[in-house]
Amino acid sequence: MDGQQQLTVDEAYKLPLEFNHGAILHKQSRFDEATISYKKALAINPDHVDVHFNIV
């Protein structure tokens, strides 16, 4: 985020859920499904560094 844009309450709730869901799927070697969750997290916050690191 550019520092000026704030997440809505709904986005703030969903972002860690999508990120964590992606991480769990990744650990289970379900890479395609993990990528979908990571992309949902990036749709909420395109600057989320951890998501970019995990999606590679």
Between 56 and 20, the more confident residue is 20
Average pLDDT rounded to a whole number, residues 40-49? 94
Statement: residue 2 has pLDDT above 70: no
Residue with tokens 């890479």: 31
Q: Which of 1-5, 8-12, 35-39, 42-46 has the lowest mean pLDDT?
A: 1-5
Long-range CB pairs of 26-34 (<8 Å, 24+ gap) are 26/54
Nearest CA-CA partner of 34 in 22, 51, 50, 46: 22
Q: CA-to-CA distance for 28 and 4, rounded, in angstroms? A: 36
pLDDT value of residue 55: 87
